[in-house]
Structure formats: structure tokens, C-alpha cells
A and B are shown apart, each in its own frame.
Chain A
Amino acid sequence: MGFSLANAIKREVPGNMLPFVGFCIALNVTAGYLTALIKLPLYLDAIGTVLLAALCGPWIAAIAGSISNLLFGALGNPTMIFFIPTMIAIALFSSAVARWGWFRRWYLVVLGGILQGVVAAVISAPISAYLFSGVTLGGTDFLVIYFRSMGNSILDSVLYQGLSSDPVDKTITYLIVFSLLMNLPRRILQKFPRHSNIIRPSSSHADAT
């Protein structure tokens, strides 16, 4: 009984949900447009991945996340392509978090977001260290410089920087996805393969139509 990615994806996403997957990819790519418009220092470049992971499953979310990063590259930001492994890790981990039922309680969502941030930081660190020495001309470069000035190696400095900022970003991402899921009408949620991650039969889920 081997694992086939193609079969796993067929199980996770019925054909008529392919446009929804496309939307989640577009959400990753354009959420940054929204946060820039209202001037919030957030990226939210994984919000579609987490949503897809919670509603459909890990493998389609991993593929969608990878495609998102490729699309970022196609639209002018090629350095995102190097962080595809991070996006895959986000997809797999957030799917597990959803499977554990953590997207039903806000405090578990916060815990999940923090852990997700740790996972993302650990996966990103070697990539950022090797390719960028931790310097990406983003706001967090000063943190890396600070940690290096304390005598830490490049890798350790990048890791510490990641551990300081990723959990915050990912917790906010998780909370936003949680809020979206809680406000989706039940009849819409039930169309998704993994709706049981979100709805418990006796739960008082929003039923607005």
C-alpha cells in the first residue's frame, strides 16, 4: 500500500473544488496587497495555505502553498521561491493542528499559531542563513545583526530572529483563519472534505445563510 500524491490529492479535493484551491493561492498572493493598503506590518502570505489545510487536507495545501511562492516569483518577488519548504511545512503542520480539532477554540488556535511559528522558523533558518546570511532587507535584519553581535553563528542568529518574529506572524494568521472559519455558514462548511475539523455535530456554529 504505497503513498501516491496524486491519489491523496484526489481524496482531499473533489474536482469542483479546484477553483477554491486557485482562490486560496490567490489569497496568499494578494493578502499582502490588503495589509499594505491598511498599512499593517504583517505578511499573511500563508493565510490561504492554512485555510486550505484546515478545510481540505495537507497535500493539496502543500501544493497550493508551493504554487503561491512560485507565483510570487512570477509576479516579481523570486526570493519567495526559496522558501517553498517553509510553506510545505506550514501546510502539513496546520493540517495536523486542524485534525486535532484545535481550530475550534481560540486559545488552542493561539497555541497552534505559536508552534507553527516555531516550525516555520526552524525550517526557514537554514535557507535564510545559507542564501541570505539572514539579511533580506526586511525589518527583522536588525535582530539578526543583534544576535550576531552577541557572538552567535549566522544560523543561530537567523534561528533566534525567526523564533522572535515568526510565532507572532503565524499566530495572527491562525487567528484570522479561525475567525473566517467560525463565520462561514455551516451549509458552506459542510461542502468541504474536512469540515469535521471545524464543526462538531452539537456545536453552535454560525448558521447564518
Chain B
Amino acid sequence: MQRSIAAKLSLLLFFWVCAFALEWNLILPLIGILVVARWTIPFRPVTDRLARAWNKFLLYLLLLFIALMAVNALFIKGGAVLLEFGPLRFHSEGAIFGLATAARVGLLSLATLLMFISTPLKNLVKFLQAWGLSPSIAMVILQALFFVQKLPSRIDQILLAQEARGANVRGNVLARARSLTALLAPLVLSSILESLQRGLALELRGALHAVPGADRERPAIPIEAYVLVLLAIIILLLRFAS
């Protein structure tokens, strides 16, 4: 798993370089590869929720492609007129500009998302720690993940409790805005107190001054990771040369 994280990070770097260095007609096939790759074993989503997030994002991206092409086709005048709706004229040059823009952001986003949905975050943090990520930052990320899991249910509880006390969360915008602080305040206050107690608890078991263990060796980097980084460098050089 650690080997594959190294390979995935290199692949991510490769795609990011491609997004900035390649033309849209080369980027689009790469997006196609990503869409298909989601169904392969190394890139399978780790949870159903993440699988749904992937699908939702694909839909968003499709709509973004259409919107970017349409808006830019409207305002960047040049090339053939592709479409006419009354006074509105959609030009090919603008459409291609929109397509190129969407392709770039699409590749960047999809590659990043694919890596995240197929890699348990805790494993990623462990990998980064082995490669020098500060233990404090690693702890911050893990604590953030803990709170991200806990906060939504606490929000639900507070919402119920505040509604029972008469907070108006279903009225007009102003009423709802006023109730926002009433909802946030108990959440934030109790969570601040809890996080300070958690910090003490971690300190009490030596977590803040951990002795580096003998077995924190770095996982081996697979050959494919080196190949991908090399490819990325080559593409960059070619881009600068042209």
C-alpha cells in the first residue's frame, strides 16, 4: 500500500504537469483514462461515500465543460459562428478557449480527486510522515479527521436542542442568520474545550514528545514512480523548448 501511494503521488505530479504543459487535444484523452481508471483495482474508491462524490464531481465537470465553452464562445469572437440564438452568437474560437480551460481544470481536479478517493487518508499521512512530514502536522491532520467525523452529528444535536428552545431556524433569511450564532456558539465553545482536553490527554501519554522509533523506515519507492517523475520532467522540458 505504501509503494502504491508513492506511485499515485508521482502519477498525480505527472497529470498536473500535463494539465499545464499539454494542449487540450492531448489532455482530453488523459481525462478519459482517469474516468476509466476509477474502475481499476488500485483506484477503487475506499468508501461508497467517496464513490458517490466521484460521480457527483463528474457530473459537475460535464456541466462545467458546457458552461465554459458556452460563456467563452459568447464573448470571445473569432472563427466560425457555431450557433445563433437570437442576438446571441457562439464562436468557435471562444468555444475552443473554453474547452481548453475546462480540460485543464478537469485534468487537475480529476487526477487529484482520484488519488484522494482511492487512498485512505490515514495511510497517506503515515506515508508523508515517513518522508519527513512533521509529526505535529501529521497529528493536526489526524485530529482534523477525527473532528470532521464527529462535528456533523453534534451539529444535528445542537440544531435539535436549539429548535426546542425556540431558535428560529426555518424563518426568513435574517432569522436564520441570527440563529446561526446561537448554533455555532455551543458547537465551537464545547469543541474548543474538548480540543484543549484532548491536547492534555495526548501530552499525558507522551504523544507530544514522542521518541522516534527504530522502525520508522522509509517505504521503498517503486520504479514506476521514478518513471512517471522522469516523464513529467521531459514533458516540461519539451514545453519550454517549444
- State whether A15 touches B140 (Cβ < 8 A): no
| B113 & A21 in contact (Cβ 8 Å cutoff) | no
Whether A19 pairs with B185 at a CB distance below 8 angstroms is: no
Residues in B with CB closer than 8 Å to A31 are 184
Residues from chain B with a CB closer than 8 A to the CB of A19 are 139, 143, 195-196, 198-199, 202
B contact residues around A71 at 8 Å (CB):
144-145, 148
B residues less than 8 Å from A33 (CB atoms): 151-152, 155
Question: Does B191 sit within 8 A of A, measured CB to CB?
Answer: yes
13 A–B pairs (Cβ distance < 8 Å), ordered by A = A16-B196, A16-B208, A21-B143, A26-B146, A34-B155, A38-B176, A74-B121, A75-B148, A81-B112, A132-B101, A135-B68, A145-B71, A184-B189
Q: Is A23's beta carbon under 8 Å from chain B?
A: yes
Q: From DSSP, what is the main secondary structure of chain A's interface residues?
A: helix
Most buried by B among A20, A25, A73, A132: A20
**What's the nearest-Cβ distance from chain B to residue A144, in Å?**
8
Do residues A16 and B200 form an inter-chain contact, with CB atoms below 8 A? yes
- When chains A and B are docked, how far (Å) is the Cα of A78 from the Cα of B111? 9
Knowing A15-B199, A16-B202, A78-B116 touch, does A135 contact B71 (C-beta < 8 A)? Answer: yes
CB distance from B224 to the nearest CB of A (A): 23
Complex: A15 Cα to B55 Cα, angstroms: 39
**Closest B-chain residue to A35, C-beta based?**
B180
Given contacts A38-B169, A141-B67, is CB(A26)–CB(B54) below 8 Å? no
User: B67-111 CB contact bits vs A (8 Å, 1 = yes)?
Assistant: 110011001000000000000000000000110010011001110
What is the interface of chain B, defined by CB distance below 8 A to chain A? Answer: 50, 53-54, 56-57, 60, 63-64, 67-68, 71-72, 75, 97-98, 101, 104-105, 108-110, 112-113, 116-117, 121, 134, 136-137, 139-148, 151-152, 155, 159, 169, 173, 176-177, 179-181, 183-185, 187-189, 191-196, 198-200, 202-203, 208-209
A76/B68 in contact, CB under 8 A = no
The chain B residue sitting closest to A179, CB to CB, is B181
A159 to B187: give the CA distance in the assembly, Å: 35
| In the assembled complex, A97 has its CB within 8 A of some CB on chain B | no
Expressed in whole angstroms, the minimum distance between the Cβ of B161 and any Cβ of chain A is 14
Q: A18: which of B108, B180, B185, B202 is its contact (CB, 8 Å)?
A: B202
8 Å CB interface, A122-161 against B: 131-133, 135-137, 141, 145, 148-149
> Contact check: which of B101, B110, B148, B199 meets A20 at CB < 8 Å?
B199
A67 part of interface (Cβ distance < 8 Å) = yes
Point out which of B112, B117, B139, B180 has the most chain A C-beta atoms below 10 A from its C-beta: B180
**Contact partners of A47 in chain B: CB under 8 A:** 184
A180 to B199: give the CA distance in the assembly, Å: 21
Taking a contact as CB atoms under 8 Å apart, the answer to whether A18 and B139 are in contact is: yes
Residues in chain A near residue B141, CB distance under 8 A: 22, 25, 67
Select one of B105, B147, B188 contacting A132, CB under 8 A.
B105
Assess whether A133 is in contact with B68, with CB atoms less than 8 Å apart.
yes
B101–A21 touching, CB < 8 Å: no
Q: In the complex, A15→B181 CA distance in Å?
A: 29
